[in-house]
Amino acid sequence: MPRLLTALACVVIVACGLGVRALWDGPVPKYAGDALYTALIYALLVLALPKVRPWVAAAVSAGLSWAIEFAQLGEIPAILRPVLGSTFNPPDLFWYTAGAAVCWLAHHRLGAEDAQQG
């Protein structure tokens, strides 16, 4: 996947996260934010390692999101709470997985299209 496209995806993911928070209240922005958080990790991973296989990027991004969520069972330093959160919430695990799955599907499909064109 081209780096410029991946960098643009990072910007779009952040814009979507901010947009969801600005437009809705309640569980919609919370759970969309969880999926987008994992999507951003996925995109940053692909940006750093452009040849990473989609399933590896999905597993690493979901795994990292899960690890951060389980870390919330302990004490997160106050300075890191805005980025890492502070309260363990089991449904977040589903939304992290959903975000990684959507990214895997998009990345896999884009890779298949690139292979057909190239």
The pTM of the full predicted model, rounded to 2 decimals, is 0.90
Res 50: pLDDT: 92
What does the block give as tokens for 118? 């190239």
Res 83: pLDDT: 86
What does the block give as tokens for 63? 């795994």
Query: How does pLDDT run along the chain (118 residues), one tens digit per residue?
Result: 688 999 999 999 999 999 999 999 999 999 999 999 999 999 999 999 999 999 999 999 999 999 999 999 999 999 999 888 889 999 999 999 999 999 999 998 887 566 545 5
What own/partner pairs with CB < 8 Å and gap ≥ 24 does 88-91 have? 91/31
Res 117: pLDDT: 54
